[in-house]
Amino acid sequence: MKILANDGMATSGVIALEAAGFSVNLTKVPQDQLINYINEHQIDMLLVRSATTARKELIDACPSLKLIGRGGVGMDNIDVEYARNKGIKVINTPDASSHSVAELVFAHLFGMARFLHDSNRNMPLEGDTKFDVLKKAYAGGKELTGKTIGILGFGRIGQATAKIALGNRMKVMAYDPYIKETDLTLKFFDGQKVTFNIKTVSKEEVLKNADFISLHVPKQKEYVISTDEFNMMKNGVSIVNAARGGVINENALIEAIESGKVASAAMDVFENEPKPPIQLLMHPNLSLTPHIGAATKEAQARIGEELAIQIIEHFNKK
């Protein structure tokens, strides 16, 4: 059976699939040529990450497809129910990238707390001529330890973020309309374990009390954070969005930063990818990455291996 991994696949996943008798094609086909390519090569399975979409038009036009796989958690780039109604198996890898995204959240949080995002821009330009000026400018950093992190969306990635926060001795407040409470177990290098019971609270309570806020929610019809939500927050709050572009009103975010309500914000995802607006890209209070939450070698290996296991198990049942 033929598999097109259109957004790439880790070598370990490819090896596992080929050992099981599948043919894996790593060609990167442009979206507007994808239907023709799938039909011409009689592709049985399409594997995507975030770059490629599998919408109704493609599903209807490609009768050879038996499975669509998403390397990652969210599947908003696939018409999932429509595909399943057409008899196509749809899979994803909800666990594989959680820790990688959570680590990126804290990379941004630690960086913003000590102005690293701005210092790394200015030191190469002015470090030799304005060292003392920059030293003074970046001297008012703050520690994360002992502060409150608010997590909006307490699924796998939100919980992975909470574990890192707990390890850093932060107070965790979480909101999720579908989760009332959960036990989080921190496992240490020497085999010790500590379990914390986290009860979720209202969104308003999180917004009013958090020193740092991290979003882990799917894309929705309305903004999750806009002007009203910013007004509820503490003055000087810091925010990270490594979830989906469009869950934060970016114009309202800039206004909140300019007013001093928000001290700094980090964004890994944007409403208008791959062309974020210049006012975001150039703002000194923004820490930015180009949608790399799951882009670690370890996560990509886990994603490839999880996809391979699911594919092999699915077709072995037949």
Which are the catalytic amino acids? 244, 273, 291
Which of helix, strand or coil describes residue 98?
Answer: helix
Strand order in the sheet with 23-25: 23-25, 2-5, 45-48, 67-70, 89-92
Task: Supply the DSSP symbol for 225.
Answer: B
The H or E element that residue 185 is part of is strand 181-187
Cα gap 5→27, rounded to integer Å? 7
Rg (CA), the chain: 22
Beta strand 237-241 pairing with 181-187: unpaired
Single out the residue of 19, 16, 20, 23 nearest to residue 5, CA to CA.
23
Cα gap 226→206, rounded to integer Å? 15
Cα gap 148→169, rounded to integer Å? 9
